[in-house]
Amino acid sequence: MVSQDMLRLGQQSSVIRAISEYGAARRAQIGAENVFDFSLGNPSIPAPEALTERLIRALQEEHPCRVHGYTSSAGDMGTRGAVCEHIERTFGFEADPKLVYMTCGAAASLTVAFHALLLEGEKVVVPAPFFPEYRVFVEKAGGVLCPVPSLEPSFQIDLDAMAAAIDEKTKIVLLNSPNNPTGAVYSRETLEKLCALLREKEKEYGTEIFLLADEPYRELCYGGASPAWLPSLYDRTLVAYSYSKSLSLPGERIGYLLVSPRMEKAAEVFAAVCGAGRSLGFVCAPSLWQLVLKDCQGMTSDVSEYERNRDTLFHSLSEMGYTVTPPDGAFYLFVKSLEEDAGAFCERAKKYELLLVPSDSFGVKGYVRIAYCTDPETIEKSLPAFRALYEEYRK
């Protein structure tokens, strides 16, 4: 008799993965060039050559015991220092290397934060739609996820709804901007109001509310959009970061969790983070990556291809008549389903070999997510299919 919760999680194939597996089967049947698979958020742009060169140099020139040895559990102090210098250069914010915990990627950044902060039954409030694994991570840490619908069609945060949802059991407000799945970048004005609201609620309930910024898409912004640096707006902020998207390294599992030095008892919060990492089995973040990223702060893959894909899809689909959320960041387009049931819409799209993800598992109904981290040719070739799908609904 194994753990039934873990068994259920292991047996549930995620909706996204199921569609992606259908795509693989379909490619085998009719050829990859005939399938328009927009299901997975797997970066399509290669890691920068300069990064590859730095990796090779580390392997050729440095002693293997230094390259592959344990770092301290929280990470190499040189790397943590470089992270802080980059943050200072970019946001004019003084971070503290002693409060940066290097992690095995964004998922680890999040689970470590949840296990460090949450007491049994405490709430994590998150604007919907949201990345479905949030629920899995929060519940494993003993917390309760409370999604709060966002404003449509902008998918900006609904401040009134947030005010109604935050109560005395709320320990964390979790934000993901640029957002998966909508591509929305929360406006600075909204975020300032939200932070003021959190301070009010803390006072009202005599509690501490932490802001947890999940920012793997921070560098993927288009048309001048730029996500605000939350630690400058709210003292009790933690930032979960990953190099998966900005450097196209999703399989390598490298990121960090930053505790703002401006929060009260920051050292204690950081110690709890270290304790959580230790107890979950994260001994240290991969050492080769820590070594190399010390010298590669601020480097990104050439994300201009994503921007071209986004422009093509956004303008073409809008022109055809689809309702599309303005996609300011990440590599997702959020489009209104042409019938109430987004699942049924996605099934119909399959007839045109269009593989889209219904929004239901992201906590909102009636939309589909289009992951446009794919080659531009696929985008171009998919347009007639999108048009035909739209025409079918007009009949």
Within positions 256 to 275, which residues make up the interface with a second copy, using CB under 8 A?
A: 268-275
Nearest to 111 by CA among 91, 140, 90: 140
User: How far is C-alpha 253 from the chain's CA centre?
Assistant: 13
Q: How many Cα atoms occupy the beta-carbon half-sphere of 351 within 13 Å?
A: 9
Within positions 204 to 223, which residues make up the interface with a second copy, using CB under 8 A?
A: 208
Q: Does 370 bind a second copy (CB under 8 A)?
A: no
The answer to whether the bond into 181 is cis (omega within 30° of 0) is yes
Are 64 and 42 a contacting pair, CB within 8 Å? no
Are 67 and 59 a contacting pair, CB within 8 Å? yes
Among 32, 50, 64, 94, binds a second copy (CB under 8 A): 64
Q: Does 46 bind a second copy (CB under 8 A)?
A: yes
Q: Give the interface segment with a second copy, choosing from 100-108, 159-167, 177-185, 324-332 (CB under 8 A).
A: 100-108
**In terms of CB distance, is 31 or 251 closer to a second copy?**
251
Among 79, 179, 180, 248, binds a second copy (CB under 8 A): 248
Q: What tokens does 23 get? A: 């795509």
d(C-alpha 228, C-alpha 300), whole Å: 19
The least distance separating a second copy from the CB of residue 46, rounded to whole angstroms, comes to: 4
**In terms of CB distance, is 155 or 289 closer to a second copy?**
289
Q: Does 174 bind a second copy (CB under 8 A)?
A: no
Give how many residues touch a second copy by CB under 8 A.
76
Q: Give the interface segment with a second copy, choosing from 109-117, 184-192, 308-316, 340-348 (CB under 8 A).
A: 109-117
Per the listing, tokens 């901007």 go with: 177
β-pairing, 255-259 vs 100-103, is antiparallel
According to DSSP, the residues that pair with 210 across neighbouring strands are 172
**In terms of CB distance, is 117 or 220 closer to a second copy?**
117
Q: Does 117 bind a second copy (CB under 8 A)?
A: yes
Residues in contact with a second copy, shown as a per-residue x/- string from 7 to 36 under the rule CB under 8 A: xxxxx-------------------------
Among 33, 88, 94, 133, binds a second copy (CB under 8 A): 133
Among 104, 257, 338, 346, binds a second copy (CB under 8 A): 104
Within positions 294 to 353, which residues make up the interface with a second copy, using CB under 8 A?
A: none
Neighbour count for residue 341 (Cβ, 10 Å): 13
Within positions 277 to 296, which residues make up the interface with a second copy, using CB under 8 A?
A: 278-290
Secondary structure of the chain: what % helix, strand, coil (to 5)? 45, 15, 40
Residues in contact with a second copy, shown as a per-residue x/- string from 374 to 393 under the rule CB under 8 A: --------------------
Q: Does 202 bind a second copy (CB under 8 A)?
A: no
Q: Give the interface segment with a second copy, choosing from 3-11, 123-131, 146-154, 352-360 (CB under 8 A).
A: 3-11
First to last CA, the chain: 54
**In terms of CB distance, is 153 or 250 closer to a second copy?**
250
The least distance separating a second copy from the CB of residue 65, rounded to whole angstroms, comes to: 6
The least distance separating a second copy from the CB of residue 379, rounded to whole angstroms, comes to: 17
d(C-alpha 92, C-alpha 115), whole Å: 30
Within positions 137 to 166, which residues make up the interface with a second copy, using CB under 8 A?
A: 137, 139-140
- Long-range contact set of residues 139-147: C-beta below 8 Å, sequence gap at least 24: 140/111, 140/114, 141/111, 141/114, 141/115, 142/118, 143/114, 143/118, 143/171, 143/172, 144/169, 146/170, 147/363
Are 298 and 86 a contacting pair, CB within 8 Å? yes
